[in-house]
Amino acid sequence: MLFSLATSDMIGLGVVAIGFSLLAFVSAMVIPRFKPGFPGKGGLKLFIVAAMACTAAALLAVEFMAIEKEEPGGENVPAKTAEK
Protein backbone atom coordinates (compact mmCIF):
# COMPACT_ATOMS: atom_id res chain seq x y z
CA MET A 1 0.00 0.00 0.00
CA LEU A 2 2.88 2.37 0.68
CA PHE A 3 3.88 2.47 -2.98
CA SER A 4 0.37 3.43 -4.05
CA LEU A 5 0.54 6.72 -2.13
CA ALA A 6 1.54 10.02 -3.70
CA THR A 7 5.05 11.24 -2.98
CA SER A 8 3.79 14.23 -1.01
CA ASP A 9 1.67 11.93 1.17
CA MET A 10 4.64 9.66 1.87
CA ILE A 11 6.76 12.68 2.80
CA GLY A 12 4.02 14.02 5.09
CA LEU A 13 3.63 10.68 6.86
CA GLY A 14 7.40 10.44 7.22
CA VAL A 15 7.66 13.93 8.73
CA VAL A 16 4.94 13.15 11.27
CA ALA A 17 6.62 9.83 12.16
CA ILE A 18 10.00 11.51 12.59
CA GLY A 19 8.42 14.20 14.78
CA PHE A 20 6.77 11.60 16.98
CA SER A 21 10.03 9.64 17.25
CA LEU A 22 11.94 12.81 18.03
CA LEU A 23 9.57 13.64 20.91
CA ALA A 24 9.96 10.12 22.29
CA PHE A 25 13.76 10.21 22.01
CA VAL A 26 14.16 13.67 23.52
CA SER A 27 11.76 13.01 26.38
CA ALA A 28 13.32 9.63 27.19
CA MET A 29 17.04 10.24 26.67
CA VAL A 30 17.99 13.91 26.43
CA ILE A 31 15.86 15.79 28.96
CA PRO A 32 16.35 13.32 31.88
CA ARG A 33 20.11 13.65 31.48
CA PHE A 34 19.97 17.37 32.28
CA LYS A 35 16.90 17.32 34.52
CA PRO A 36 16.71 14.03 36.46
CA GLY A 37 13.29 14.82 37.94
CA PHE A 38 11.66 15.13 34.50
CA PRO A 39 8.77 15.53 33.95
CA GLY A 40 8.12 16.45 37.58
CA LYS A 41 5.68 19.11 38.69
CA GLY A 42 6.71 21.80 36.24
CA GLY A 43 6.90 19.77 33.04
CA LEU A 44 4.24 17.11 33.37
CA LYS A 45 1.43 19.18 31.85
CA LEU A 46 3.65 20.28 28.97
CA PHE A 47 4.76 16.70 28.36
CA ILE A 48 1.17 15.41 28.34
CA VAL A 49 0.08 18.15 25.92
CA ALA A 50 3.04 17.44 23.61
CA ALA A 51 2.37 13.69 23.66
CA MET A 52 -1.32 14.20 22.94
CA ALA A 53 -0.54 16.64 20.13
CA CYS A 54 1.88 14.19 18.51
CA THR A 55 -0.62 11.35 18.82
CA ALA A 56 -3.39 13.47 17.29
CA ALA A 57 -1.05 14.59 14.49
CA ALA A 58 -0.12 10.99 13.70
CA LEU A 59 -3.75 9.85 13.65
CA LEU A 60 -4.84 12.77 11.50
CA ALA A 61 -1.93 12.28 9.11
CA VAL A 62 -2.86 8.66 8.56
CA GLU A 63 -6.52 9.57 8.19
CA PHE A 64 -5.99 12.27 5.57
CA MET A 65 -2.73 11.32 3.83
CA ALA A 66 -2.86 7.53 3.63
CA ILE A 67 -5.61 7.39 1.04
CA GLU A 68 -5.16 5.31 -2.07
CA LYS A 69 -6.03 7.17 -5.24
CA GLU A 70 -8.54 5.50 -7.54
CA GLU A 71 -7.19 4.32 -10.85
CA PRO A 72 -8.82 5.79 -13.95
CA GLY A 73 -11.51 3.50 -15.28
CA GLY A 74 -11.61 1.55 -12.03
CA GLU A 75 -15.37 1.66 -11.57
CA ASN A 76 -17.07 -1.32 -10.06
CA VAL A 77 -18.73 -2.71 -13.15
CA PRO A 78 -20.16 -6.19 -12.73
CA ALA A 79 -18.77 -8.77 -15.10
CA LYS A 80 -21.09 -10.21 -17.73
CA THR A 81 -22.82 -13.30 -16.52
CA ALA A 82 -22.61 -16.39 -18.67
CA GLU A 83 -25.80 -17.06 -20.54
CA LYS A 84 -27.36 -20.47 -20.13
Would residue 35 be called left, alpha or beta, if left means φ above 0 and alpha means ψ between -120 and 50 degrees? beta
CB count within 10 Å of CB 59 equals 11
Helix axes 7-25, 40-65, angle to 10 degrees: 160
Which residue would you say has higher pLDDT here, 18 or 81? Answer: 18
As a dihedral over the C-alpha atoms of residue 79, residue 82, residue 83, residue 84, rounded to 10 degrees, the angle is -150
| pTM score, whole prediction | 0.65
Residue type, 81: T
pLDDT in tens, 3-48: 667 777 788 888 888 998 998 999 889 888 888 888 888 778 888 8
Confidence of residue 62 (pLDDT cuts 50, 70, 90): confident
Write down the pLDDT at residue 38.
80
